[in-house]
Homo-oligomer: A and B are copies of this chain.
Amino acid sequence: MLLHTIKEVQEQVKQWKKEGLSVGLVPTMGALHNGHLSLIKKSVEMCDRTVVSVFVNPIQFCPGEDLDKYPRTLEQDTKLCEQANVDIVFAPTPAQMYGENQMRTNDFLTYVIPPFFYVNKLCGKSRIGHFDGVCTVVNKLFNIVQPDFAFFGEKDAQQLAIIKKMVKDLNIPVEIISCPIVREESGLALSSRNKYLSQEDKIHALALSKILNNIKSCYKKGITNTSALKETAYGFLNEHHELEYLEFTDNTTLEPVESATDNTRVFIACKVGGVRLIDNIFLG
């Protein structure tokens, strides 16, 4: 069932709650791929009812980012959700979520702001305000859908850590379920932004997963010094890559680590043919 208004979703969810049914939420920006579908599948397995939100959230895009050209494929997304036994596809307009008047800055809108310590690193460093927009919209979706479980991919591991922290800090009665990264056979992590890549760039994009896998191999062989582990990346990079960061942090707190452990996650962001790609790997 495709719904566009908050009110319709609230009414349907209220009915489910009355019947004692459990509800799962998979928040997405659409352009669904097998990564999303793995989250959806998990929710359909675990919960009596599943809601997939499809909303390209304007307040999580920074000036100069790809808000306008971000892929929008609602018809196909809805079809995929139906095939996956999703109960509601919730696809609101920006006006439905934030009102008509376009005043979406923190001058006029209540924001949910994640801690600076979780934001001043990795993607947060270049995407100023991005995670404020993410936390605010996820909070709104949680309040609208009131899910028992919400499903997020490890692909966006900083986002996942920030959302878990938000849920804990604000006592939000939702259990966060994280799902592993889904990759092409080549190793490329699935992403809606892969659509921007040329055939040639897709080959250059393999550097990200290769770097991460190589680091994990080196770690398993006993190298724990993160500076040394970082050095191993450069063999995979050439003039087609614009490395933004390659960082090692604690998996939960995102605290940078100098010596890798089984609780370390390695994050990489790199532009390939002008397309910003991210990937990560857990060393444990």
Contact = CB atoms under 8 A, between A and B. Distances in A.
A166 B113 CA distance: 13
A144 B59 CA distance: 27
Interface residues of A, number: 30
A93 interface: no
A264 interface: no
B107 A117 contact: yes
A110 B107 contact: no
Contacts of A165: 110
Interface stretch (A150-158, A170-178, A233-241): A170-178
Interface string A111-138: 1111111000000000000000001100
Nearest to A120: B107
Contacts of A135: 110
A195 interface: no
A58 B108 CA distance: 26
Interface of A: 6, 10, 18, 20, 106-117, 135-136, 139-140, 143-144, 146, 165-166, 169-173
Nearest to A6: B171
Contacts of A110: 112-115, 135, 165-166, 169-170
Contact of A146 (B114, B144, B166, B173): B173
Given A110-B112, A115-B110, A139 B173 contact: no
A16 to B, nearest CB: 13
Given A112-B113, A139-B170, 7 more contacts: A110-B115, A110-B135, A140-B169, A140-B171, A143-B171, A144-B171, A146-B173
A114 to B, nearest CB: 5
Contact of A107 (B115, B143, B171, B173): B115
